[in-house]
């Protein structure tokens, strides 16, 4: 036979003044304390209390979440009401045979909690639907939602107390309702913040999701409550909580108000030796291929001033996502540096260089000699250029330039009429082809590593480019112009035939050609290269 758990009624309780008289004797709660079987009820109560505590961090995570899908989750306030209602229901069911006063109060709490749950659910999801249909700017202010809830809360509490007989007369019920309303928003010290919060939301100075700036603070609005507004600073990854009364008195810059696109500025000083037309071309080139720059919006280049060591320019353009502004600005500044270097200039700086001119020249000559040796080694290692002599390769290494490209820059573009070929000296590049003819999007098909030769088909045969080459990392390339190629092969027809054979075998291996198809390809390539050489020499194609 199972043993029943002991209840508190079986335990003697010593009174406050000695003796064995229980301290609760004569109290309204005496029958309850005497009959509750705590070992049976305590685990369930503890579990419900723990669930109630968990809702607070969950509610905080929901309010700060940046995923728009989380908006459709019910508020943690609803979950808390469900737990409170469940606690009341458990107590009412288990202690129904106990003190009638406590049972009545438990019933009032249960009924009010369920009613508040339904009220909050209806109001919360009504606002979610209005937000989904009309957007943040056409949705009534969040503070109205709080006012509706508090008004309904006061009515439900007052009616529950009145209908249960806990209070008599509608005047007393109205007083309880007003008390519930006042306790909701806070004490009188917060009334100024409340008025400011109401003003902010009614005037739509900014809404949740906007990027705002005031008094040196910049961040994205994540919440606007009764008393304060919360911003998230993406640069330092910190949360900023500002009293609404402070915001109401400050000068606010709303970066999201005009349009969903964001206009940003890059300032740069360029050398006096660079013509303004070239500077404008260079700056436009730095932004036109960036994925986060809106090319449909105007891009402006302004000559700001003539500085002591540079001509200062301002570059204005629009970006899609303001949260990525720092990365976009970093990319654009890096591309400007690479573009300046490729054109043989450098970013000016106002310093005095006290190094001896002779020593500087010797250092530059040494670096140039090392660079040319590196280029020769890279050319000599290429199987495609094996038919060329060391003297011819050294001439190419000495006469051509090493060019630098930044991450994401196009080394070869379809629309570029240049027919040069390149040797990748450092870094990696992606080979991109058209993924969709309609929108012109690209997809990667291969990655080129250090020591790779690319662009040779167009250089030798003068055919259009078949792919784009994009820098996967900062790279340096040896650019070999078509004219230099022609000058080498005009004097070395045997080398030309050897390179044609190597190109044909490579293409045949990629496409699984037969021997006959390979010979046909060799003849076709040789004819195309011969026609290109004749055009270079100034002869007609019919010659």
How far out from the chain centre does Cα 522 lie? Answer: 51
Q: Which residues of 89-119 are buried (b: 16+ CB within 10 A; e: fewer)?
A: bbbbeebeebbeebbebbbbbbbbbbbbbeb
Average pLDDT, the chain: 74
Long-range CB pairs of 283-287, under 8 A, 24+ apart, other chains included: 283/313, 283/315, 283/336, 285/335, 285/339, 286/315, 286/332, 286/335, 286/336, 286/339, 287/315, 287/317, 287/332, 287/335
- Least reliable range by pLDDT among 285-289, 440-444, 492-496, 530-534: 530-534
**Could you report the per-residue pLDDT of 221-265, keeping only the tens digit for each?**
888 876 788 888 877 778 888 887 777 777 888 887 766 788 899
Q: How far apart are CA 301 and CA 281, in angstroms?
A: 9
- Least reliable range by pLDDT among 73-77, 132-136, 411-415: 73-77
pLDDT of residue 379: 92
Q: How far apart are CA 131 and CA 182, in angstroms?
A: 28
Q: What are phi and psi of 411, to 5 degrees?
A: -85, -40
SS3 label, residue 404: strand
> Where does residue 26 fall: left (phi above 0), alpha (psi -120 to 50 degrees), or beta otherwise?
left
Report yes or no: 316 and 267 within 8 Å, Cβ to Cβ: no
SS3 label, residue 301: strand
- Tell me which of 383 and 143 has the higher pLDDT: 383
Question: Does the reported pTM lie above 0.85?
Answer: no
pLDDT of residue 137: 62
C-alpha R_g of the chain: 39
pLDDT range class, residue 310, cuts 50, 70, 90: very high
Domain 366-537 sits in CATH at 2.60.120.10
- Tell me which of 472 and 456 has the higher pLDDT: 472
pLDDT over 50 at 21, yes or no: no
Per-residue pLDDT averaged across 512-520, rounded?
65
Per-residue pLDDT averaged across 475-497, rounded?
83
- Tell me which of 101 and 32 has the higher pLDDT: 101
Report yes or no: 121 and 160 within 8 Å, Cβ to Cβ: no
SS3 label, residue 296: coil
Structure tokens at 384: 């495609």
Report yes or no: 156 and 115 within 8 Å, Cβ to Cβ: yes
pLDDT of residue 16: 37
The answer for residues whose C-beta is within 8 angstroms of residue 54's C-beta and 6 or more apart is none
The answer for residues whose C-beta is within 8 angstroms of residue 169's C-beta and 6 or more apart is 162
**Could you report the per-residue pLDDT of 191-221, keeping only the tens digit for each?**
566 666 666 666 677 888 888 888 878 888 8
Per-residue pLDDT averaged across 103-112, rounded?
71
pLDDT range class, residue 499, cuts 50, 70, 90: confident
Report yes or no: 478 and 402 within 8 Å, Cβ to Cβ: yes
Show me where the domains of the chain are located.
Answer: 26-194, 203-254, 262-342, 366-537
pLDDT range class, residue 165, cuts 50, 70, 90: low
pLDDT of residue 313: 96
Domain 203-254 sits in CATH at 2.30.30.60
- Least reliable range by pLDDT among 56-60, 267-271, 290-294, 335-339: 56-60
Q: Which is nearest to 406 in space by CA: 348, 472, 344, 317?
A: 472
Q: What percent of the chain has pLDDT over 90?
A: 20
Tell me, yes or no, if the two domains 203-254 and 262-342 fold the same way: no
262-342: which CATH architecture?
A: 2-Layer Sandwich (3.30)
């Amino acid at each position: 036979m199972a043993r029943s758990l002991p209840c508190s009624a079986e335990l003697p309780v010593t009174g406050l003044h000695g003796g064995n008289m229980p301290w609760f004797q004569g109290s309204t709660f005496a029958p309850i304390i005497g009959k509750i079987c705590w070992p049976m009820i305590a685990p369930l109560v503890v579990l419900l209390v723990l669930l109630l505590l968990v809702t607070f961090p969950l509610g905080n995570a929901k309010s700060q979440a940046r995923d728009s899908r989380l908006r459709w989750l019910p508020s943690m306030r609803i979950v808390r009401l469900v737990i409170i209602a469940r606690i009341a229901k458990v107590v009412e069911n288990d202690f129904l045979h106990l003190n009638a006063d406590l049972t009545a109060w438990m019933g009032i709490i249960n009924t009010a909690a369920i009613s508040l749950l339904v009220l909050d659910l209806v109001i919360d999801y009504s606002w979610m639907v209005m937000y989904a249909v009309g957007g943040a700017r056409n949705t009534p202010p969040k503070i109205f939602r709080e006012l509706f809830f508090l008004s309904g809360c006061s009515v439900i509490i007052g009616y529950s107390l009145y209908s249960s007989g806990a209070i008599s007369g509608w005047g007393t019920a109205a007083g309880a309702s007003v008390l519930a309303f006042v306790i909701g928003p806070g004490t009188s010290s917060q009334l100024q913040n409340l008025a400011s919060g109401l003003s902010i939301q009614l005037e739509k100075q900014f809404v949740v999701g906007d990027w705002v700036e005031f008094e040196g603070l910049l961040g994205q609005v994540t919440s606007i409550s009764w008393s304060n507004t919360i911003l998230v600073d993406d640069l330092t990854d910190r949360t900023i909580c500002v009293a609404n009364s402070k915001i109401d008195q400050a000068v606010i810059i709303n970066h999201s108000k005009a349009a969903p696109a964001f206009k940003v500025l890059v300032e740069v000083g360029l050398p006096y030796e660079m013509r303004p037309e070239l500077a404008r071309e260079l700056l436009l080139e730095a932004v036109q291929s960036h994925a986060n720059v809106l090319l449909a919006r105007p891009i402006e280049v302004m000559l700001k001033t003539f500085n002591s060591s540079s001509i200062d320019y301002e570059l204005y353009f629009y970006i899609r996502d303001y949260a990525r502004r720092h990365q976009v600005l970093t990319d654009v500044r890096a591309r400007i540096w690479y573009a300046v270097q490729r054109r043989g200039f450098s970013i000016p700086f106002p310093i005095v260089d006290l190094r001896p001119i002779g020593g500087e020249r010797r250092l530059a000559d040494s670096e140039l000699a090392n660079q040319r040796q590196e280029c020769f080694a890279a050319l000599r290692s290429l199987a495609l250029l094996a038919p060329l002599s060391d003297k011819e390769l050294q001439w190419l290494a000495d006469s051509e330039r090493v060019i630098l490209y930044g991450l994401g820059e196009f080394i070869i573009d379809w629309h570029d009429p240049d027919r040069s070929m390149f040797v990748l000296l450092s870094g990696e590049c992606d080979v991109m082809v058209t993924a969709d003819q309609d929108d012109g999007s690209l997809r990667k098909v291969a990655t080129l590593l250090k020591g790779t030769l690319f662009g040779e088909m167009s250089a030798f045969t003068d055919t259009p480019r078949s792919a784009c080459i994009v820098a996967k990392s900062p790279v340096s390339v040896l650019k070999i112009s078509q004219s230099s190629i022609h000058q080498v092969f005009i004097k070395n027809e045997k080398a030309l035939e050897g390179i044609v054979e190597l190109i044909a075998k490579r293409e045949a291996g990629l496409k699984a050609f037969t021997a006959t198809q390979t010979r046909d390809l060799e003849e076709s390539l040789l004819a195309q290269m011969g026609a290109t050489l004749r055009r270079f020499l100034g002869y007609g194609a019919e010659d």
